[in-house]
Amino acid sequence: MVLDVTEGLQSAHEKGIVHRDLKPGNIIITPRGRAKVLDFGLARVTPGTASLTQSNPISGPSALVGTVPYMSPEQVRDGRVDASSDLYALGALLFEMTTGRRPFACDDVLSLLYQIAHEPAPLLRVVRPGLSAELDTVVARCLEKAPLRRFSDAGALLRALRGDSSDDGRGLPTRASSFAGGAPESGPGRGIQSLVMPPFENRSGDPTQEFFADGMTDALIADLAQIAALRVISRTSAMRFKGTHPPLSKLARDLRVDGVVEGSALRVGDRVRITVQLVDVADRSLWAKSYERGLTDILALQSDVAHAIADEIRIQVTPDERARLRSKGAVNPAAHVAYLQGSFLWNRFTGESVKEAIRR
């Protein structure tokens, strides 16, 4: 069924047509068992070709159209829609088909819109552990926040679903068992001896909290850099990617590392949540987890995350290194926040920011 729907989207996109409202209610199964996409009532013909280069997105006043649970982040944020938005909706459909739930579910519409626009979609294997890593990777790529990090077009997605290895090595095996788990994989993090940790995303929606996300990134880079068997890209190199969204596999290849640790940080009052995801050079999601603690236990939280990453990549950690990574004591929340703010300002290294850092 998914192949039929993807083929339908490919045909529409090649004609310059974007559906804009792909959802379960707009798909039927014919008597011959084929899936057909219906209700192009909200569809638009894009200017020129159906390129996914974002050069000709559909936008305009009151352009928020579609069915909210299947809207793409760009639809929610500013109503801009192109063929990549349909691929996001298809990813949401595939997520729902395989897990029995939507990527984002909330009774309050405004909260749901916020989640779609800002929160990372959960990984398939976190919701349903028996699913294959290949399927997890395909769905996660469809549900990327940044359109340019999704599949280049419906044809590329179709090749991945069919198991065509020519699509950057991201194809799905064609055996049905692969979707249910298939043959056991080797350890998820085996072979990772080097990694980069791009700046964590600030999930608060408040730009003044940027210092906190950067502080969490810095702390984890410093912790992991203590492991002699692991090569960790320096903070200076990692921070070059702040505010950018390069494909993680390209980032890994460009920096010649085996893996990428992508994360986000959210601070609400004295509560902290960190979400991390380990991705390999083939853009496969190997592991993901969220951690939540009170701000007084922030050092313990950082230690837990560093230990978990080391365990997942199965790197050799000596007893002395484990002791250095061991959970530390509680901190004074106000003092720790002031320290992170000062470090953030100092690292900007302008005359005014250095003076402000010293004052703090």
- State how far the Cα of 206 lies from the Cα of 257, in Å rounded to an integer: 32
Phi/psi-derived region of residue 96, left when phi > 0, alpha when psi is between -120 and 50, beta in every other case: alpha
Residues 128, 226: Cα–Cα separation, whole Å: 34
| pLDDT tens track for 129-138 | 888 878 888 8
Of residues 264 and 125, more confidently modeled: 264
Position 85 scores a pLDDT of 93
| pLDDT for 280 | 82
pLDDT bracket for residue 118 (50, 70, 90): confident
Domain boundaries, the chain: 2-180, 194-359
Residue 108 annotated among the catalytic residues of the structure: no
Q: Is the pLDDT of residue 181 over 50?
A: no
194-359 has CATH 2.170.190.11 classification: no
12-22 residue pLDDT tens: 888 888 888 89
pLDDT in tens, 334-357: 776 776 777 766 666 455 644 554
> Which of the following is catalytic: 21, 223, 283, 297?
21
SS3 194: strand
Q: Token pair 């739930």 is at which residue?
A: 101
Q: Which CATH class is domain 2-180?
A: mainly alpha
